[in-house]
Amino acid sequence: MMKIIVGRGRSKATQRMEINDPTVSREHCWLSDNGDGTYTLENKSAQGIMVNGRKILKTKVTANTFIQLSPNTTVRVADLLPLQSAPSPHVQAGAPPQPAVPEYSIKHLQYVWDEYHGRILDIQRNQHSINVLRSASPLFTLGSGAVAALARALGWGDSVFSFTIILTVIGLGLMAYSFVKGFNDHSIDDRERATEDFQSKYVCPNPKCHQFMGNTPYSLLRQKKCCPSCRCKFTVK
């Protein structure tokens, strides 16, 4: 019975297609020929393997089955077999036909991404305005003191006294306003709510998967052909 060791590099691995992903173990799994067009797949890595979106220890697969070795590496069984042993992906003697890969639109995820990105920008702008006010208020209060000291040194007398009073009042006003604005700031809570909402919506559209797509911008997500977890096809129709 033919047994193939699937893994990274060539120190132990014997599969036809070379795998260079550093997150894949050198002896990640075994693939054994059952002689009837099917193969027994057995996990040998602490990281594990996934088939059809589920982690498995041992299962029966066909040449058209996709195996997820890591978040970055998914391979088809036929690509691991020696050329003389790999059956046609369209005709497999004695093997049940593979179900059609489901197809789902991810067009709605653009709105989810844009909404989340907009909410985060609004939160950042609000925090920036508070920080600017806090930084500006000392400039007026310290500036008034500096002007008063300069006036005394130059003998200007009380001619600039009213001006320093105005600077001090402006500084104190900005300080009070920034304090109130900061006290009523809920940026942390708003960010948490926005993130939770985003993580619940920015997911694979397959109802059997709903894997979170991470913080990948939609412009990059739409370039992906399938879900990295369940392998369903993505469209933007």
Q: Which residues pair with 21 in a beta bridge?
A: none
Q: What is the pLDDT of residue 182?
A: 67
Give percent above pLDDT 90 in the chain: 21
Judge residue 175's burial from the number of C-beta atoms within 10 Å of its C-beta, 0-12 exposed, 13-18 middle, 19 or more buried.
Answer: middle
Mean pLDDT for all residues in the chain: 80
Residue 105 has pLDDT above 80, yes or no: yes
pLDDT at position 138, please? Answer: 67
The dotted CATH code for 3-99 is 2.60.200.20
* Tokens read off for 141: 């209060």
Which pLDDT belongs to residue 130? 72
Quick one: pLDDT at residue 113? Answer: 93
CB of 234 within 8 A of CB of 101? no
Q: pTM of the predicted model, to two decimals?
A: 0.45
Determine the pLDDT at residue 71: 85
User: Between residues 75 and 155, which one has the greater pLDDT?
Assistant: 75
Alpha carbons 45 and 79: distance in angstroms, whole number = 20
pLDDT at 111: 94
| Residue 202, both tokens | 């920015």
pLDDT of amino acid 39? 92
Residues 46-71: what's their mean pLDDT?
89
For the chain, percent helix, then strand, then coil, each to nearest 5? 40, 20, 40
Q: Amino acid letter at 159?
A: S
**55 pLDDT above the threshold of 80:** yes
- Per-domain boundaries in the chain: 3-99, 108-235
**What's the pLDDT at 91?**
45
Report the distance separating Cα 233 and Cα 106, nearest Å: 10
Handedness of CA 231, 232, 233, 237 (dihedral sign): negative
**Tens digit of each residue's pLDDT (9 = 90 or more) over 141-200:** 666 666 666 666 666 656 566 666 666 677 667 677 666 666 666 777 888 888 889 988
According to the model, what pLDDT value does residue 156 have?
A: 62
**Is 223 a residue whose pLDDT tops 90?**
no
CA pseudo-torsion sign 11, 14, 18, 20 = negative
Q: Is the pLDDT of residue 77 over 80?
A: yes
State residue 125's pLDDT score: 85
**What's 57's DSSP letter?**
S
pLDDT in tens, 108-140: 999 999 999 999 898 888 877 777 766 666 666
SS3 154: helix
